[in-house]
Amino acid sequence: MFAVLSTGGKQYKVSQGDLIEIEKLDSNVGDTVTLDQVLMVGEGEDVQVGSPYVSGCKVTGEVMEQGKDAKIIIFKKKRRKGYRRKNGHRQLFTQLKITEITKD
């Protein structure tokens, strides 16, 4: 069974046992998280699409890690003007292991 869920402004297609990295959630390592914004759920030919969400469907996951992604560099320059700006950013993430997909 798979599900398409929405969290952090992004959509993820997940199955049971998958490891995904999503936008940071306020949870500790080892906590159980329930995501209820499920856009689509199904198995094989039996697919149910929500409008916008599938009612009664939840995805449960366990928090495996809280961390930071690799640094990205933002560099802005305007030629011949002496304008240069350098900035860096490390995005926070939560790594989830999908444990269960339930639908009523």
Mean pLDDT, the chain, integer: 96
The string of pLDDT tens digits covering residues 3-39 is: 999 999 999 999 999 999 999 999 999 999 999 999 9
Phi (first) and psi of residue 6, to 5 degrees = -120, 125
pLDDT band at 74 (very low <50, low <70, confident <90, very high): very high
CA distance 45 to 26: 36
- The half-sphere exposure of 59 on its side-chain side, counting CA atoms within 13 A, is 31
Q: Give kind and range of the element (H or E) at residue 40.
A: strand 38-43
- Model's pTM, two decimal places? 0.85
Give the domain ranges of the chain.
2-103
